[in-house]
Amino acid sequence: MKLKPSLTAAENARQILPRMARKYFEAGRKAIEGKRPPGELHGFRLKTKRFRYTLELFQPLYGPNLDRYLKALRELQGALGEVSDYQAIDRVLAADGELKKQIDRVLKTKVRELRKSWRAFDSDGALKRWRTYLAGDHSKQAGRPAKQATKGAAAAAPRKPQARAESAGGQSLETRTESAQAGG
């Protein structure tokens, strides 16, 4: 993503983030809907983190409405995390044939759940909503507390709650949360 020093931070954000959203959705469709092996989901999980952290870097310029989008992303990241947890378990315990069978069974379930989460995330024109929101001027909302800023955001925000989020109380084997650090 090429930033333009001649533009303000907000103008840069409005230019690069919608493009980044498009690329992110394309990568997700390819990785998840393409029925690829679970191992290939790792790359998409890293893309999800990068996308989320980039959005968070520009969060002060968007105001609290961006939280709704970040929440949807965190929830998807939670489902990806569950798959990743079982891939990690498989890496260190694969030598035990009995355990491996058990791990593979759970992993298949987690991949199915991830696909469901992705379909909820990428539904009803979600990409268009993301792009429209990220390309918009949200200077009036920036710096406002959440209560004042949520008005009018509902139409643009992701509509469906997702299955699980690290930061929304979802339990992964790690049961850790990234929200504790959100916003630094």
Partner 1 sequence: MTGQPALQDYAVEQMNRLLTTLAVQVHRAAKKPGPDQIHDLRVSIRRFSQGLNLFGGFFPKSEAKKIHRTLKRMMGLTSSIRDRDIAIDFLAASQHTAHKPRLSRERSRYQRQFSQMLRRWTASDFSAQWRNGLALSATRGRV
Chain residues that interact with partner 1, rule: CB under 8 A? 1, 3-5, 7-10, 12, 49-50, 53-54, 56-57, 60-61, 85, 88-89, 91-93, 96, 99, 102-103, 139, 142-143, 173-176, 178, 180-181, 184
CB of 6 to partner 1, least distance (A): 8
Q: How far is CA 71 from CA 46, 52, 78, 126, 157, in A?
A: 17, 10, 10, 14, 10
Name the residue nearer to partner 1 (CB basis): 93 or 154.
93
CB of 66 to partner 1, least distance (A): 14
Tokens 């979600």 belong to which residue?
126
* Minimum distance from residue 103 beta carbon to partner 1 (Å): 8
* Minimum CB distance to partner 1 smaller for 4 or for 119: 4
Please give the structure tokens belonging to residue 103: 């791990």
Q: 52: closest CA among 70, 65, 75, 29? A: 70
Q: Note whether 72 and 47 are within 8 A (CB).
A: no
In the complex, least distance from residue 21 CB atom to partner 1, rounded to whole angstroms: 15
Instruction: Report d(CA 13, CA 8) in Å as an integer.
Output: 9
* Nearer CB in complex with partner 1: 52/131: 52
- The answer to whether the beta carbons of residues 17 and 51 sit under 8 Å apart is no
- The residue among 16 and 159 lying less far from partner 1, judged by its C-beta, is 16
